[in-house]
Amino acid sequence: MNLNTLTQLNPEAFCDAQLNQYNYIFVDQTNAGRLYIKQGSPAVFVDTTLFCLNAKDYQYVDYTSYQNQQMHKYQGLYRFVYDTNASVEVAQNQFKQELEIFLGSEEHHSDNIKRFGSDRSETHSESTAPEYNFSALFEQVFGSKYLYALQAESKYIDSKGHLRYIDFMLSRHNSKCQGKNTQATNNIAIELNGERYHHPLITGIKQYRSQLFKQNSLIYDGYLVYRWSLRGMQDEYKFSDQMRNYFGDAKNFAASPNYLAQRAVAYQPMLHQEDAVDKINQQRQTGKNTFLVVLPTGTGKTEVFIQDLAAQIEQGECQNALAIVPSTALKDQLQTRLAQRLPNLSVGEAIHNKNLNVVVQTSAYLLRHYHTLTTNQFDYILVDEAHRAAAVGLRKVIEHFEPKTLLGLTATDERLDEQKLQDIFGSYQVDLTLEQAINKGLAPQIRAYRLESNLYLSKVRFNGKDFVKADLNKTILVPSRDQLIVNLLNKYFAEPLISGQNLKQGVIFCTDVKHAKRMAKLMNQHGISAQAVHGLDRKGLDAYQQGKIRFLCACDLLNEGWDAPQTEILVMARPTMSKVLYTQQLGRGTRKYQGKEALIVIDVVDSYGAALQPWSVHSLFNFTSYQPFANLVKTEFAAPAYEILALDHLWEGERRIEKINIFNFEKEFGDLLNEEQLARELFISTSTVKNWVKKGEVLPAKSHDFGKQKLHYFSQNQLSEIKHSKNIKERTDDTRRDDFFEFLEKRDYAFSYKIVFLLSFISECNAQGEVELTKLAVKYQNFYQQLHQKHGKAEKPNNPLNDLTRLNDTAYITRSLLANPFEKFERKRFVYHAKDLNIVAFDPVLWEKLTPECFERIKKQMEQDGKDYFGKFGVEFV
């Protein structure tokens, strides 16, 4: 049988042959398909048998876990499906075409942009629970300052030109998206997937192919793609470890705080190109550098760019220019035109070639690669067909760059949204904190008011990240607290503060949907128009944008994509210990807007007990002095303060400056290790650290009363001291497997528990190294019951397992198993107990290092150790 005949009958052989043509070699077969590798390139996985599996047996967490492991191991993973349910001809042709797109030449990648899927900013008012939970856990693992590296709902153009959305994009320094040239600091696309809409065995092959095309496009462009199922995210221990492992050192995160500043845009409808060039020069003299030029069709708008660019180059104001055009055809036309009109300039399309005077590229290409360029890479940027900027998602590209000249060109026969265009072209990112942006006049001043409520929240539980929402909801639902808010807004903002002003608009952040609805109802009853917004009702967003209502009552967050710069009042009625939540809420009001003198932030201050202080605008800026409605930040220049005079008049007394307790958790403990972080550094269990502290064997650098808890923190300097005093060997992730076998080889057996536990564990654990605790306990129990039935005893004399009452009590066995032997492995951080999921699992780092040979070695040693142990008192070990 020749090769052609063989490959027609055997999908595996066909896939092998096709991938060999791209120099990929087969290395592994799994129950879902085949893995191929090529030196210096992302690996390839082909789903040849995936659709032969059952969704109940092959869970989505199995799919995502394996893919994430290979993605990390090979720093990239293409994934394709070979459809065994289609005819041989169709299956083979489709497979070859997809390989050629991503492993072949770049000519298959489209430069036309077509929208695919929905933009959550247009259909949702809040972040989803998985997105919020991911942000909160990311903050817990890496720290608040690294949240700036995360961008939610990031737009991306795939290789067919479809506009897609990524749940989160993690930016890392020095990442380069140049085809197959992946690097260790590539940007990371993060997808948080529900099983119902993403498990290929549930969604079907058509939707699965679309998902893979998006993923493969990202890999081709140099990203890494990590997916987590909702089930995978529930195991916070494993999820945290995987983030540390897959995302790498946080120092590589591009985590500079980027404040969205405003450009002054000159909007110029023109009749002739000569008028346009003259007008641009006039506006440039007044300090403007951003120009939107609208010309009649057929009047040579491209000539405006060429003439103005030539003048800027001649004046020494431009060394490198970028022209962004909608299509490949226009890209070729503009390059030809520039070569004819400005023959002395070097023109091309390689965005990283600094020898080019003018780079001409398509919108689709720039959307895929803009983040690999520095913000000041180009002195001059043209956006042709500017009216399309919003539709194709160019906002992020435009915001990224800070050129000396930004020119948008469009034609008057197009339907234009002038306000939207000015908003897109008028924003850019600056490397400043919010306080620095206010100081330089790029953001509005903040004026704060602390509204003290009549609630005492010391009994609201704290889960280590934020207040327990169920407790918070029960406590906050007090009408008198809401009435205080309404009374304050009515007193100071029922009328314009200054004659001729519009009434101020604002957002009240509430604890949940019920609170938001109740708050809106109360506001309306007192003559202040308001509407609650949440995931199922977003009508209020449009009404707010149009000025038809004054206040939105929102629970959790308004989505990142929601933008209403006219917002002048924020009421923080939902206490939070999460800096990310508080700063995102604050960000809804920090855009500049015509006539907006300041953002007024009203922090509702409840009583929390000793040092339990949620975030407030004062703690965010670390200001300990408070004066109602006073400017919070000193600026480099004098700013309007007319509204302060009006508020002085309404205050009916002296607005005294007072000292306040702003316990800043991050400042106080930001550089210290908590108990869990110390345990991770030492490769021991958190319970071991707690036990040392309880016995006084290790003294924390700082301790803090937090509600009913006492939290302990340790300095980096204490690490070496503790290692020395506790005789802890230097251990790293790389030594995990050796450490594990070193522990086993000590054969420290007071009883047989560790032997039976480990044999039961490895026989029952799934592909993720997990086993249900109940299932493990029954397996463990059955072993000792069989021994007792056969020998009249389960262990050596006086052991509690020889008592049948205890031995037959599964609850007792479960408690006993967790106390010993499980705890012996847990304290070394080889295993952990995910209580919410009721599972016991191998440490994720260790699990990835255990091979089939390792399990055979474990089994062989434990069986021999069992025979030796039980043989000492005449019991046969089976």
Confidence bin at 562 (pLDDT 50/70/90): low
- Residue 33 has a pLDDT of 96
Q: Retrieve residue 34's tokens.
A: 């085949």
pLDDT of 61 higher than 50: yes
Lowest mean pLDDT among 15-24, 833-842, 857-866: 833-842
The whole-angstrom separation of Cα 748 and Cα 742 is: 11
* Reported confidence tier of residue 329, pLDDT bands at 50, 70, 90: confident
pLDDT of residue 180: 41
Report yes or no: 222 and 187 within 8 Å, Cβ to Cβ: yes
Mean pLDDT score, 563-592: 83
Looking at every residue in the chain, the average pLDDT score rounds to 83
Identify any residues that bridge with 347 across adjacent strands, giving them in sequence order: 358
Q: What is the pLDDT of residues 507-560, one digit of tens each?
A: 999 988 888 999 999 999 999 999 998 766 778 888 998 899 999 998 765 544
Dihedral pair phi/psi, residue 40, rounded to 5°: 80, 10
d(CA 873, CA 864): 15
pLDDT at 557: 54
Highest averaged pLDDT of the listed ranges 95-104, 138-147, 479-488, 574-583: 95-104
85 pLDDT exceeds 80?
Answer: yes
Q: Looking at the predicted structure, is the pLDDT value of residue 504 above 60?
A: yes
Amino acid 175: pLDDT? 45
Max intra-chain CA distance, the chain: 105
Among 107-116, 260-269, 377-386, 601-610, the minimum mean pLDDT is found in 107-116
Mean pLDDT of 568-578: 86
In this prediction, residue 592 has a pLDDT band, given cuts at 50, 70 and 90, of confident
Helices (H), 457-560: 469-476, 479-493, 513-525, 539-545
pLDDT at 367: 84
- pLDDT digit string, tens, across residues 134-159: 887 888 888 777 877 888 888 888 88
Radius of gyration of the chain from Cα atoms?
Answer: 32
pLDDT over 70 (residue 573): yes
pLDDT at 810: 96
Higher local confidence (pLDDT), 788 or 388: 788
pLDDT average, residue stretch 573-577: 81
Per-residue pLDDT at 194:
80
* Percent residues over pLDDT 70 in the chain: 80
CB atoms near residue 730 (< 10 Å): 8
Structure tokens at 702: 């700082």
Q: What is the pLDDT of residue 122?
A: 42
Give the tokens for residue 47. Answer: 């789903």
What are the tens digits of pLDDT across the range 180-237? Answer: 444 457 899 999 988 888 899 999 999 999 999 999 999 999 999 999 988 888 898 8
CA dihedral 847, 852, 858, 863 (to 10 degrees): 140
Residues 284 and 315 sit within 8 Å (Cβ to Cβ): no
Q: Which of residues 587 and 121 earns the better pLDDT score?
A: 587
Please state the rounded mean pLDDT for residues 168-187: 64
* pLDDT confidence of residue 469: 57
Q: What is the pTM of this model?
A: 0.68
Query: Average pLDDT of 494-518?
Result: 89
Quote the pLDDT of residue 182: 41
pLDDT exceeds 90 at position 753: yes
Q: How far apart are CA 380 and CA 498, in angstroms?
A: 41
pLDDT at 433: 72
- Per-residue pLDDT band at 297 (split at 50, 70, 90): low
401-424: b (≥16 Cβ within 10 Å) or e: bbbebbbbbbbeeeebeeeebbbb
The larger pLDDT score, comparing residue 583 to residue 393, is at 583
**pLDDT greater than 50 at residue 621:** yes
pLDDT of 876 above 70: yes
pLDDT at residue 120 in the model: 46
User: Would you give the end-to-end CA distance of the chain in angstroms?
Assistant: 49
> How buried is 477 (Cβ within 10 angstroms: 0-12 exposed, 13-18 middle, 19+ buried)?
middle
pLDDT on residue 860: 97
